[in-house]
Structure 1
Amino acid sequence: MSETNETSKTNDFFLGQEPDDLSDFSLSLPDPNDAELAEGQFLAEVDRAWQVCDRFDLQTDIWRGRILRTVRDREKANGKGRGTGFLKWLQEREISKSQAYSWIQLANSADTLMADGQLDSDDIRQFSKRAFLETAQASPEVQQLIVESARNGDKITRREVRQLSDEWTAMSSEHLPEELKEKVAAHTIPTRYVAPLVREIDKLPEAYQAPIKQAIADGTDLDNIKLVTADAQRLTKYLANTNQVQAISQRSVNIDLALEESLRIGCLKLTSDLVSQASQLEQAIGKLYSTWKKISTAADQLYVEAGASTPHLLDLLNSLDSLASQNISVQIGNEQSGRTIRLQISEE
């Protein structure tokens, strides 16, 4: 059965009608034991079959969402039950609430795109399920590019969605010089390297964007793009982590001047890693304290319940005293080459 015939069944199904018998749903799959079949051809045939199922699944889930929305809206219209009837309907069919609303969201996305005249039922057949979900979440400009591609008969997978999204991100950005945009348009520099750079710049406050833009202008070759992207990512991490580290905020450190000095001596990576590790350490200490408090409390309660009749239980408690007391002791590694780490917890 052809892809068109496979997927058209769901387009012809409307509420109030009995669906066609799907017992004849079949796909032509390659023989896995055919030694004469080239690996590339085998994978291509399997992929085609998978895409048919994916598109059929998309159509089915859109209709599931419409059905669920109909049941939910019926209860809203009656003004009774406050959703209990809808939830009961879901429970009877073993459908979770989160799954139900994900289907409803998919149906809403499909209906919105179709209502705007961007898509029709035939166009939806061109999408894989995941590609359609990503399209529904994309910006209107990217949606238009994807829809045009679908109307032209192109099969839309996540790869195509991401590629078109990256192209729009790169070509519409105000951060990139025209020279770099021309290279992107000419496909001499892949958009998969340029789009992440634009997204990183967008995350930065305007005051921090200037040095990144200057670094791009200094060299629009691929190697420099990769280096600038890495620097932008480190800068984003530096700014995010410096606002989280208590040790920095308590000293009122001028993080802007510290950053300028780090850039001047070429130590942005080292500085960013230092602040990132400091943030992780503070979080680890907080988690350590919370866990230690639970162990200490549980040990104290168990000591009250234990006694002479529970000598083995007392042995267990005594063995954990190095973790439950305020002086924590932990052996790292084996006895020959390892070391003992001691920590003292004091509450103020």
Structure 2
Amino acid sequence: MAEISETTAEITAALETPTDLEFTLPDPEDEEIEENEFQQRLDEAWLVCERFDLQTDIWRGRILRAVRDREKQGGEGRGKGFLNWLKEREISKSQAYSMIQLANSADTLLAEGQLQVSSINNFSKRAFVETANSDPEVQKLVSEAAEGGDRITRREVKELSDQWTAMSSELVPPNVKEQAENGSLSPRYLAPLVKEMEKLPSSHLKQIQEEVEENPDVDTVKQLTSEAKNLSKYLDAAAQVQAIYNADLDLEMALEEALRLDCLNTAADLVKQATSLEQIMAKLYTTWKRVGSLADRLYVETGASNPHLRSMLSALEKLSNDTIEVPLDDSSDRVVRLKIIHNE
């Protein structure tokens, strides 16, 4: 981790973190205060709390990192000192590492010049964390907005992330990018489409690109996003179904027919459920084998002098025999029977 040049005092001064939080909150019962004013005053107080919370957790993360690294340097105790330090302050291990990660992210953004210390005040805590976890290009866009004085919440981070996703993707036709750039088509609609298109093989992209190029409007983009999502689900699930893999059929032709009949969503759901069923059957078989093995072992280790254990084994025969019986309701009126035929 790169060291930052600012001293603790300099950074604290730049952040302008208050040592004590004290607000004069509006009286909820004061009818003379207009609703807009009431909400605005609460929002202002809330934003101060968020800034305080963010800065506090960054510094706590730096402190926790120092405690952890000091112990690593000594090489003794195998983390006991660090854990004891957390225990004394009632901090969970997951909370500690979350704050350390936040501190690492802050230091990285500062060290790489992506963000100025004074701009941290413009972030909400969640927005800062989301920015730190974003692509470098998105970090740059967000940091520029923060340095320009913009208030950065998760909404702004998402908008800028969507903008970068839509404008940088080679999958989006040029005229559609122009629509997004001039504001006639919001990038927040394009970004989900791009993410779904990235999951598809190139052979399935041309038709989507032609349709969005011909009709670069919100309704078309939403429809194509849904279709691309269903198509991705279909292809992923179909590739995992052994029943389909071992059969003599043309998946592409089946796909074309589903598209022509406008039932791709149903077909995608079918193969997805088929995948789940095969996985459940495989797990059922291994569990059934385990139940039978344990029942046989317990039978050998017990005798007639243990009638209750023998009774339990007799009751469980419905689950360990080749034909498994399971009631579907408490009354046992409805029973499902599965016969297992296996090749050793």
Q: TM exceeds 0.5?
A: yes
Counterpart residue number, 2:320: 324
2:335 aligns with 340
Match of 1:89 among 60, 82, 86: 82
Conserved? CA contact 2:185–2:216, under 8 Å: no
2:66 to 70, 80, 83: 70
Q: Classify 1:38/1:245 alpha carbon distance in 2 versus 1 (closer, same or farther; 3 Å).
A: farther
| Contact 2:116–2:147 under 8 Å retained in 1 | no
- How many equivalent pairs are there? 331
Question: Could you tell me how far 1:125 is from its partner in structure 2?
Answer: 1.0
Which amino acid letter does the alignment assign opposite residue 270 of structure 1? T
| 1: CA distance, partners of 2:48 / 2:133 | 23
State how 1:198-217 maps to structure 2 within 5 Å: 198-217=194-213
Give the conservation status (yes or no) of the 8 Å contact 2:325–2:335: yes
How far apart are residue 222 of structure 1 and its match?
1.9
Distance 1:278 1:198, change over 3 A: same
Indicate the SS of the match to 1:93: helix
- 1:173 and 1:198 in contact (8 A); partners too: yes
Question: Contact 1:65/1:106 (CA < 8 Å) preserved in 2?
Answer: yes
Please give the alpha-carbon distance, in whole angstroms, between the structure 2 residues aligned to 1:29 and 1:298: 66
Q: CA 1:327/1:50 → structure 2, altered by over 3 Å: closer, same or farther?
A: farther
* Alpha-carbon offset, residue 228 of structure 1: 0.6
| AA partner of residue 148 (structure 1) | E
Distance 1:318 1:35 in 2: 74
Q: 2:44 aligns with which of 22, 44, 48?
A: 48
- What SS does the corresponding residue of 2:198 show, helix, strand or coil? helix
Partner in structure 2 of residue 154 of structure 1: 150
User: Counterparts of 1:1-348 in structure 2 under 5 Å?
Assistant: 11-12=11-12, 22=19, 24-34=20-30, 42-74=38-70, 78=73, 80-81=74-75, 84=77, 87-94=80-87, 95=91, 97-251=93-247, 253-304=249-300, 314-333=310-329, 339-348=334-343
143-152 or 64-73, larger mean C-alpha shift:
64-73
Maintained 8 Å contact 1:193/1:225: yes
CA distance in 2, matches of 1:68, 1:139: 26
What is the CA-CA distance between 1:329 and the residue it aligns to?
1.9
- Does structure 2 conserve the Cα–Cα contact (< 8 Å) formed by 1:119 and 1:147? yes
State whether residues 18 and 52 of structure 2, in contact with CA within 8 Å, keep that contact through their aligned partners in structure 1.
no
Give the Cα separation in 1 of the matches to 2:30 and 2:340. Answer: 67
Q: Contact 1:330–1:341 at 8 Å: present in 2 too?
A: yes
Give me the TM-score of the superposition, normalised by structure 1.
Answer: 0.80
Q: How far apart, in 1, do the equivalents of 2:162 and 2:340 lie? A: 50
Q: Shift of residue 317 of structure 1?
A: 4.4
- Aligned-pair Cα RMSD in Å: 3.4
Deviation at 1:341, TM superposition (A): 1.8
Aligned equivalents of 2:33, 2:293: Cα separation in 1: 67
Query: Secondary structure of 1:125's partner?
Result: helix
Preserved CA contact (<8 Å) 1:326 1:344: yes
Higher mean C-alpha deviation, range 136-145 or range 184-193? 184-193
Cα 1:102/1:195, change in 2 over 3 Å = same
Q: Name structure 2 gaps, 5 residues minimum.
A: 1-7
TM-score w.r.t. structure 2 length? 0.81
Percent identity, please: 50
**Segment of structure 1 superposing worse, 155-164 or 108-117:** 108-117
Q: Is the 8 A contact 2:327 2:334 kept in 1?
A: yes
- In the TM superposition, residue 253 of structure 1 has moved relative to its aligned partner by 4.9
Counterpart secondary structure, 1:124: helix
Distance in 2, matches of 1:68 and 1:288, equals 46
**Residues 59 and 103 of structure 2 are in contact (CA less than 8 Å); yes or no, is this contact kept in structure 1?**
yes
For the residue of structure 1 that corresponds to 2:142, the secondary structure is: helix
Change (3 A) 1:307 1:38: farther
Unaligned runs of 5+ in 1: 1-7, 15-19
- Please identify, of 230-239 and 310-319, the stretch whose mean Cα deviation from structure 2 is larger: 310-319
Contact 2:86 / 2:93 at 8 angstroms: preserved in 1? no
Higher relative contact order (CA 8 A, sep 6+): 2
